């Protein structure tokens, strides 16, 4: 990245306290932003590390507004963690300012950059290594809801409009069916029919929000397991990361996306659909952890609709994959022919399995809503 040195110079990385920069290298495997690990050697010969990121302003059209959201939320979390006797330097991200006192830097090529302290002794898991990992992630995301339950959500910007508005996503899908590649449409007739059969459900949550039956909350909107840092020593969930999509939304979005990603018995792009289904043990572990983490801050209606959140987030992801396939694979990166169609089929298979296990899902939610 040609402008990384320009960005490094904009932040107070090399200081008397931090010492001299000894390394800057690409870090992690994120698909959206460009991330770099910076190392400094202090005068005492110890090490200070930072995470420098170039924000993707193609996807996030207004990085200053995005950073406003991140700063508001992390500062609020910092106060909440301090009040509970926690360590805000490890349990939330902390935005470091530029030498000019700004929360972000724009370079001469109009790229936007930000800087965080590196959280030492932390690890990121790409998938749950045990049921306990998934449970711990649920407690973390539930606790995120609890900590931000009284946050003034109206001050947050919608960084990606209608991001989890399933009815709006369905309209995009309909447009793709009407205007997409005819050969691809012919190939995906079964998947198109599956999606169309469930149109009525697409507006369930947005209608309840509009009616005031569900509260608008601060939501993460990308609650995959790999967006949590775990403590390397205790293996406990430590810190929620990747806050780019933090904005107003529904708690059901966060619950549902976690289930979609983490309780699937198959890979997201599995071609053998016999391997794809809902792992009820993982669904139960996450439900238990999420409700414990929320600590009573969800309404009765939110809790009742947790299975619908799981189903709709999975369905929504499926129609997004399918729409992208029909229109030429412009949004999601693909690694083989028909990759997005495979992804859509996997999501729809998971939806179908959720429908088959609906009574079990609702019974699990009731079990942990009213624990014995």
**Least confident segment among 18-22, 123-127, 241-245:** 123-127
Question: CA angle at residue 265 from 263 to 270, to 5 degrees?
Answer: 120
* Residue 270 to residue 263: CA distance in whole angstroms: 14
- Interval 34-39 mean pLDDT: 95
* pLDDT number for residue 45: 85
Can you name the residues that pair with 312 across neighbouring β-strands? Answer: none
pLDDT at 345 over 70: yes
Tokens 């929000």 label which residue? 209
Contact status, residue 202 vs residue 170, Cβ threshold 8 Å:
yes
Edge-first strand listing for the sheet containing 122-124:
122-124, 228-231, 237-240
Q: Where are the domains of the chain?
A: 4-120, 131-369
Q: Who contacts 272 (Cβ-Cβ below 8 Å, separation ≥6)?
A: 266
131-369: CATH class: alpha beta
DSSP H stretches of helix in 239-338: 251-262, 280-294, 300-304, 306-326
Kindly report, residue by residue over 298-318, the tens digit of the pLDDT: 999 999 999 999 999 999 999
* pLDDT number for residue 371: 63
pLDDT at 3 over 90: no
- Interval 105-118 mean pLDDT: 97
- Interval 318-330 mean pLDDT: 96
Q: How confident is the model at residue 296 (pLDDT cuts 50, 70, 90)?
A: very high
* Residue 73 to residue 140: CA distance in whole angstroms: 15
Q: What's the whole-number average pLDDT of the chain? A: 95
Kindly report, residue by residue over 202-227, the tens digit of the pLDDT: 999 999 999 999 999 999 999 989 99
pLDDT at 357 over 80: yes
Say if strands 105-106 and 112-117 run parallel, antiparallel, or are unpaired: antiparallel
Out of 159-168, 229-238, 273-282, give the one with best mean pLDDT.
273-282
- Interval 252-270 mean pLDDT: 95
HSE-up (13 A, CA, CB side) for residue 125: 25
Q: Who contacts 241 (Cβ-Cβ below 8 Å, separation ≥6)?
A: 93, 124, 227, 228, 229
pLDDT at 89 over 60: yes
- Interval 170-177 mean pLDDT: 98
What's the CATH superfamily of 4-120? Phosphorylase Kinase; domain 1 (3.30.200.20)
**Tokens found for residue 335:** 């690694």
- Interval 57-61 mean pLDDT: 88
Q: Most distant CA pair in the chain: distance in Å?
A: 67
Q: How confident is the model at residue 274 (pLDDT cuts 50, 70, 90)?
A: very high
Question: CA angle at residue 36 from 72 to 102, to 5 degrees?
Answer: 35
**Tokens found for residue 175:** 């447009």
DSSP H stretches of helix in the chain: 4-10, 63-83, 88-91, 131-147, 166-179, 182-187, 189-197, 204-210, 251-262, 280-294, 300-304, 306-326, 339-356, 358-369
pTM comes to 0.93
- Interval 346-360 mean pLDDT: 98
Contact status, residue 300 vs residue 319, Cβ threshold 8 Å:
no
- Interval 258-277 mean pLDDT: 95
């Amino acid at each position: 990245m040609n402008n990384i040195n320009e960005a490094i110079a904009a932040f107070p990385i090399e200081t008397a306290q931090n010492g001299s920069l000894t390394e800057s290298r690409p870090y992690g495997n994120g698909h959206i932003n460009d991330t770099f690990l910076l190392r400094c050697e202090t005068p005492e010969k110890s090490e200070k590390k930072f995470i420098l990121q170039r924000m993707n302003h193609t996807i996030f059209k207004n990085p200053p507004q995005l950073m406003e959201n991140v700063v508001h939320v992390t500062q609020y979390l910092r106060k909440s963690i301090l009040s509970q006797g926690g360590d805000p330097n490890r349990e939330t991200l902390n935005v470091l300012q530029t030498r000019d006192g700004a929360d972000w830097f724009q370079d001469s090529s109009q790229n936007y950059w930000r800087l965080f302290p590196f959280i030492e002794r932390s690890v990121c898991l790409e998938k749950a290594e045990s049921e306990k990992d998934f449970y711990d992630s649920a407690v973390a995301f539930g606790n995120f809801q609890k900590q931000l339950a009284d946050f003034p959500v109206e001050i947050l910007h919608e960084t990606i409009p209608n991001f989890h508005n399933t009815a709006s996503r369905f309209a995009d899908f309909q447009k793709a069916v009407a205007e997409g590649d005819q050969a691809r449409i012919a190939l995906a007739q079964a998947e198109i029919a599956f999606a169309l059969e469930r149109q009525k459900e697409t507006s369930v949550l947005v209608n309840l929000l509009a009616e005031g039956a569900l509260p608008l909350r601060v939501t993460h909107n990308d609650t995959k397991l790999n967006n949590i840092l775990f403590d390397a020593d205790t293996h406990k969930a430590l810190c929620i990361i990747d806050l780019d999509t933090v904005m107003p939304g529904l708690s059901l979005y966060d619950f549902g996306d976690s289930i979609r990603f983490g309780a699937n018995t198959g890979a997201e792009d599995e071609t053998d659909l016999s391997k794809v289904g809902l792992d009820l043990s993982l669904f139960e572990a996450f439900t238990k952890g999420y409700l414990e983490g929320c600590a009573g801050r969800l309404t009765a209606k939110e809790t009742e609709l947790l299975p619908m959140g799981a189903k709709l987030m999975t369905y929504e992801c499926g129609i997004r994959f399918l729409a992208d396939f029909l229109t030429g694979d412009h949004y999601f990166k693909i690694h083989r022919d028909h990759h997005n169609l495979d992804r859509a089929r996997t999501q729809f298979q998971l939806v179908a399995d959720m429908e088959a296990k609906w009574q079990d899902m609702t019974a699990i939610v009731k079990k942990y809503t009213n624990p014995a």
